Amino acid sequence: MPQLLSAPARGQRGFALLIVLWMLVLIAFITAHVTAAGRTEIRIAGNLAANAAAQAAADGAIYQAIFNLADPRPERHWALDRAPHDIDIGGSRVTLRLEDEDARVNPSYASPALVAALLQVVGSDPGSAASLANGIAEWVGSASSRRPAAAVLAEYQAAGLDYGPPGAPLESLDELLRVRGMTPTLFAALRPHLTLFGQPVPDRAGADAEIAAALALLGPPAPGVRGALPTASDVITARIHATAQGPAIAIAARVAVARIGPSQPNGYTLLAWENAED
């Protein structure tokens, strides 16, 4: 006849069972947490790899565009007309768009009249446009008549600014935000039409609608103005936009500006390289 367990023994056995159950629950929780964390890490690693692949594809596409533009065979060249060109690189689909950088306005060397015309086209009234264009000319040191530096500085101080124009070409387009009278809204409208690398007068053939309208306000071009900056006749300056759709849903965008031609070292010179649209 089996012996019955005493009450203390049954209590100890029940307590031990409870500990075992709690341990099993804890192990299950830890296992689920580690599994979830592992899946998250794998997902993050996959996203990083996909983004890296898309970025590498965008970079490679920019170099392919440069080599295409440097090809001495004219029939191989893509036109600087902003038309899309789709290519495949390493499993990523890349869309390239090329435009003529010399068709943009270079505020460091453009005439105040041209800058004022472009300001009017993007939304400024004629009086404010002329005043701001003269202010930009003073900022970059291209004003035809120079006022005393003390007088210019006094105007900036009266506007609550603790600096004055450097009187030197722009190092960055964002520098224009420091010009007295420039507003963020106006600069945002102006920026897509500007460059640091173009000629004093933009190329009318490749100009966008806003620049073409500004040039029209100035009337027909004066002879002998084009090419005031030293450039070789066989050189083009291209802005290359590359947008890569990589593995999964990874997207990478690059913008490069390159000067391309036989007179350049190795056939081309990179002037700018950025991760997004400038």
User: pLDDT tens digit string along 224-256?
Assistant: 555 455 555 678 999 999 999 987 788 999 999
| C-alpha distances in Å from residue 124, one per residue of 22, 75, 130, 186, 190 | 73, 43, 9, 8, 10
Over residues 250-266, mean pLDDT: 91
What are the tens digits of pLDDT across the range 130-151? 999 999 999 999 988 888 989 9
**DSSP secondary structure string, 72-132?**
S-GGGPPPSEEEEEEEEETTEEEEEEEEEGGGSB-TTTS-HHHHHHHHHHTT--HHHHHHH
- Residue pair 197/257 in contact (Cβ under 8 Å)? The answer is yes
Q: Which of 1-5, 6-10, 83-87 has the lowest mean pLDDT?
A: 1-5
Q: What whole-number distance in Å separates Cα of residue 209 and Cα of residue 181?
A: 25
Residues of the chain with CATH 1.10.40.60: 112-194
Q: What whole-number distance in Å separates Cα of residue 108 and Cα of residue 138?
A: 10
Q: What whole-number distance in Å separates Cα of residue 183 and Cα of residue 107?
A: 16
Over residues 29-56, mean pLDDT: 72
Mean pLDDT of the chain: 86
| CATH (one of 3.40.462.40, 1.10.260.40, 1.10.3720.10, 1.10.40.60) for 112-194 | 1.10.40.60
Q: What whole-number distance in Å separates Cα of residue 7 and Cα of residue 90?
A: 73
Residue whose entry in the numeric block shows the structure tokens 């690189």: 89
Higher pLDDT, 232 or 272: 272
Residue 1 has pLDDT above 50, yes or no: no
- Residue pair 232/214 in contact (Cβ under 8 Å)? The answer is no
Question: 115: pLDDT confidence band, cut at 50, 70 and 90?
Answer: very high
**pLDDT at site 278:** 46
Residue whose entry in the numeric block shows the structure tokens 């203390």: 8
Q: Which of 36-45, 87-96, 97-106, 244-253 has the lowest mean pLDDT?
A: 36-45
Residue 257 has pLDDT above 60, yes or no: yes
State both tokens at 130.
């002329």
Spell out the long-range contacts of 67-70 with Cβ–Cβ below 8 A and sequence spacing 24 or more. Answer: 69/98, 69/236, 69/238, 69/258, 69/260, 69/268, 70/260, 70/261, 70/267, 70/268
